[in-house]
Amino acid sequence: MANLKKIAVLTSGGDAPGMNACVRAVVRSAINNGLSVNGIYRGYQGMIEGDFIQCEKHTVSNILHRGGTFLKTARSDDFRTKEGRQKAYEQLQANEVDALVVIGGDGSFTGAAILHDEFGIPVMGCPGTIDNDLFGTDFTIGYDTAVNTVVDAVDRIRDTAESHNRLFFVEVMGRDAGLIALRSGIASGAEAVLIPETVTYIDELIETLHTGYLQHKTSAIIIVAEGDDEGGAYEIAEKVGKKFNSYETKVTVLGHIQRGGRPSAYDRVMASRMGNRAVEALLRGETNKMVGIQRNELVLVPFEKAIKHHKQINQELLNLVEILS
């Protein structure tokens, strides 16, 4: 057992629905294990500035159902410098923090690993990003909610596309991963899903649309992951429009609505499980690992594996888009 008296928890990188559930679980699990807990506002930047809050069980009441993160988050250029990390560590020492739980994505875990390497503080990570682009976990916190948000939006777009016999290109988030696009594309019955993990061929896409048109499809929806190799939704719509104009064409970029909203039950339960497991792992003396979920079982994945490796795209889902479109 590690000799811990106080831990701290922070949220870092792009916010994600379910982060509050994870923070709540870290705080209450730690207190149940006799530990004291600090929350750190605004991620690593708040750590450098000493923006800490003492957390009791009641501090995290009524946040489970709320999107975003009550600890706020920020991207920190200062933390990229040794001086900045030195200040951060001095703040941890001043607040007598013995270990850290970081809820975030690959950049956040990279920072946590460096903090451990330079100062020896034990760190555990919970995967909080809507992109679901971390290796070693089937889901990240926020992904299920974001996919449901996209599906709800695309269902609404489908209503108006069908009314006006239109073709819509809908751009979704994912930075350089297409997992939101792929899952939401299948769930919303998109005619095609364009993702950075596979090469997009404009002529093939036109062929698919033309075939559908000949088969009396009166509308079509193409989901475009923002990092697609052929560009975003506007660029792809323009490239397609040069050779194919059987439908009136519109573009919708969903943007940051994918980052907000009440977390789904799945995200709340998974985030709670991960937060609790992160505390248990620290108590067992673990460090530099992400709590992942594989086939609904929690696993501990070394940071260097979670960050450096790229998640394989599910070929079955890729095939399904074509079969069902």
- Answer yes or no: 131 catalytic: yes
Stretch touching ligand F6P by CB under 6 A, among 92-100, 128-136, 153-161, 200-208: 128-136
Q: What is the DSSP letter of 97?
A: -
Determine which residue in the list 115, 130, 224, 290 makes contact with ligand F6P, applying CB under 6 A: 130
Contact 194, 158 (CB under 8 A): no
Query: Which residue out of 51, 106, 131, 133 is catalytically annotated?
Result: 131
Query: How far is Cα 84 from Cα 183, in angstroms, rounded to an integer?
Result: 39
Half-sphere exposure (Cβ direction) of 224: Cα atoms closer than 13 Å: 30
The correct pick among 46, 174, 196, 292 for binding ligand F6P (CB under 6 A) is 174
Residue 49 to residue 88: CA distance in whole angstroms: 7
Tell me which residue has tokens 């194919």: 244
**Binding track over 94-123 against ligand F6P, x by CB under 6 A:** -----------x------------------
Task: Give me the 212-231 binding string for ligand F6P, x by CB under 6 A, dash otherwise.
Answer: --------------x-----
Query: Whose CA is closest to 11, among 119, 126, 106, 149?
Result: 126
Which of 144, 125, 64, 118 minimizes the C-alpha distance to 305? 125
175 is an interface residue for ligand F6P by CB under 6 A: yes
**Which of residues 29 and 129 has its CB atom nearest to ligand F6P in the complex?**
129
Q: Which pairing describes strands 248-253 and 166-172: parallel, antiparallel, or unpaired?
A: parallel
State the binding string over 228-267 for ligand F6P (x if CB under 6 A, else -): -------------------------------x--------
The C-alpha torsion from 125 through 196 and 231 to 183, rounded to 10°, is: -80
The nearer residue to ligand F6P, 259 or 289, going by C-beta atoms, is 259
Supply the minimum distance, in Å, between the C-beta of residue 197 and ligand F6P. Answer: 15
- Contacting residues toward ligand F6P, per CB under 6 A: 14, 105, 129-131, 173-175, 226, 259
Residues annotated as part of the active site:
131
